[in-house]
Amino acid sequence: MKPAVDSFSDNARDALKDVKLQDALERLSHGFPEKRRKAIERLPEFDDLRDAARDLKNHVLEHLDFYLERFEEKVIEAGGTVHWARDAAEAQEIIVGLCRDHNAKTVTKSKSMIGEEIAINEHLEAAGITPVETDMGEYIIQLRNEPPSHLIAPAIHLSKDQVGDTFRDNHTHLSKARPLEEPRVLLDEARDILRERFINADVGITGANMLVAETGSLVIVTNEGNADLTMTLPKVHIAVASIEKIVPTLEDASTILRVLARSATGQDMSVYTSIVTGPKRDDDLDGPGAFHVVLLDSGRAAMLGRPMREMLRCIRCAACLNHCPVYKSIGGHAYGWVYSGPMGAALVPNLLGVHNARALPHASTLCGTCEDVCPVRIPIPKLLRLLRQRDFMTESAFSVNKRAMRLWARIAARPRLYRCLHKIFAGLFGKGAGRYTHLPFLRKWTVTRDFPAPAKKSFIDDISLRKCNKK
């Protein structure tokens, strides 16, 4: 999917009017946060685990080159292959090339944000290879040709009616008149269809939640079991992951696992956490004969320069989305690309360039909830503020913003002029109490908000008057 980050304001406006979307977001805002809270209540060590998770990710980022090399050594030792991709184009070329080498006609996929980021499905299709998404939500949006609207619940924006319509339009071999109202019926229909796909796929492509340097293992987490069918049944397993997914040891992976599911779905542990290392051994009865790992940089290495490095701790749990007042109002599609919510607003400008994602750092009230719930304690509001600053610096010297700021700076640097102008404005607008529901030139702003009326007297006037009275 091509990023369409520029149309954020229009997207957001449309999203607010979309009744079905608003219903879905209402469900989300009561679901995940409540489950997360309950899970954390059962684990008194949660905050200590967050500190440990933050510290271990910081350690990895500080020594990322070392751990990537160790990881590669261990994958090779286990009989697998590591491929390095500087950008999306290189990753696409590697993956399509591997599929061609193995004469693949169909490929099953388990949900991967990196897969979305590099738009691998489009490139497989262009090469005549059929990709089949197998995560239930991802399957639904693949049929609808939509990007995911949430990190862990990609079809969260849809109602069951919309899912039913989608299945009726696409599963044309089944009776048109069949009932499709119940989620259970929808799930069973998709389960049957995808079962065939799993069995017949030539290659399985997954992402990875973590890469373990100690053993060259991938850690892959799902609730559905789709990643395991994807990487057990076909004769080739290709995993694609970004370079910051490294953890040093299995102990470190365990620490991340303790905060991941609780922050994401509010489960203590996701149903399936699979640690896979290399291809099928000689005496194994099943498993893929070939094991490939594609490591993607695409802007991450450059983020290691402080302070944006902190964003690379992200483990994609989606807690920040689930608690964000902006995300909960407009959903994920408004953000215009594959990453949304606070983590998307902070990550995407780094991946695409600030000038290509100018609206995103502003898509936040800076309320700080995202930082409060983050399992690896990423200071997202601080990063958004820095991105706003960076965006401002790239503006032309003649932009309205910059001219206004320059004018204000000139006035603010001259106290007498400032107080004099202040008095005039306070005289015109000062009420001392109440609010303005209309303001000249700011009609758009006051349509949805009231402006608190300024005091009649400035602080300095007030304080000097009090001093006089005391005397």
List binders of another protein among 131-190 (CB under 8 A).
134-137, 140, 153-156, 158-160, 163, 183-184, 186-187
Q: Does 26 help bind another protein (rule: CB under 8 A)? A: no
**Contact positions with another protein (CB under 8 A) in 395-424:** none
Among 106, 130, 223, 329, binds another protein (CB under 8 A): 223
303 near another protein, rule: CB under 8 A: yes
DSSP string, 374-400: -TT---HHHHHHHHHHHHHHHS-TTSH
Contact call for residue 45 and another protein (CB under 8 A): yes
Whichever of 224 and 391 has its CB closer to another protein, that residue is: 224
**Cα distances (Å, whole numbers) of residue 428 to 196, 423, 443:** 74, 9, 18
Task: Compute the Cα dihedral for 40, 42, 47, 53 and give only its sign.
Answer: negative
Smallest distance, another protein to C-beta of residue 2, A: 23
151 vs 153: CA distance, rounded Å? 6
For residues 219 and 71, give the distance between their C-alpha atoms in angstroms, rounded to a whole number.
13
Please give the size of the binding site for another protein, defined by CB under 8 A: 102
Residue 77 is a binding residue for another protein (CB under 8 A)? yes
Nearer to another protein, 10 or 47 (CB): 47
Minimum distance from residue 439 beta carbon to another protein (Å): 41
Of 142, 206, 215, 369, which lies in the binding site for another protein, with binding defined by CB under 8 A?
215
Instruction: Report in angstroms how near the CB of residue 78 gets to another protein at its nearest.
Output: 6
* CA distance linking residue 113 with residue 110, whole number of Å: 10
* 108 vs 364, beta carbon nearer another protein: 108
Q: Which CB contacts under 8 angstroms, 24+ apart, belong to 183-187?
A: 186/160, 187/136
Residues 253-272 that bind another protein (CB under 8 A): 254-255, 257-258, 265, 267-272
Using DSSP bridges, classify how beta strands 81-85 and 290-296 pair: parallel, antiparallel or unpaired: parallel
Q: By CB under 8 A, is residue 359 in contact with another protein? A: no
Give the separation between CA 74 and CA 98, rounded to whole angstroms: 21
Q: Does 195 bind another protein (CB under 8 A)?
A: yes
Q: Which is nearer to another protein, 295 or 338 (CB)?
A: 295
- x-marked contacts with another protein along 424-443 as a string, rule CB under 8 A: --------------------
Which residues are CB-neighbours of 461 under 8 A, at least 6 positions away? Answer: 423
| From candidates 287, 368, 379, 430, binder to another protein by CB under 8 A | 287
Nearest-approach distance from CB 58 to another protein, in angstroms: 12
Q: Nearest approach, Cβ of 55 to another protein (angstroms)? A: 8
Does residue 245 interact with another protein by CB under 8 A? Answer: no
**CA distances, 133 to each of 2, 142, 164, 206 (Å):** 19, 7, 18, 10
Our CA dihedral for 230, 231, 232, 233, rounded to 10 degrees, sits at 50
Residue 356, both tokens: 């290509």
Q: Give the Cα separation of 248 and 11 in Å (integer).
A: 41
Which of 117, 133, 252, 310 is the binder for another protein (CB under 8 A)? 252
Q: Is 63 among the residues that bind another protein (CB under 8 A)?
A: yes
Q: What residues between 448 and 467 interact with another protein by CB under 8 A?
A: none
One residue of 174, 304, 367, 411 binding another protein per CB under 8 A: 304
- The CA distance from 326 to 1, in Å, is 23
Collapsing DSSP to helix, strand or coil, 316 comes out as: coil
Region of 318 please: left (phi>0), alpha (psi -120 to 50) or beta: left
Sign of CA dihedral 319, 26, 326, 161: positive
> Please, what is the minimum distance in Å from the beta carbon of residue 136 to another protein?
4
Binding status of residue 353 toward another protein by CB under 8 A: no
Residues 36, 57, 70, 245: which binds another protein (CB under 8 A)?
A: 70
Would you call 61 helix, strand, or coil by DSSP? helix
Using rule CB under 8 A, residue 117 touches another protein: no
Interacting span for another protein (CB under 8 A) from 47-55, 326-334, 373-381, 453-461:
47-55
Q: Which is nearer to another protein, 8 or 32 (CB)?
A: 32
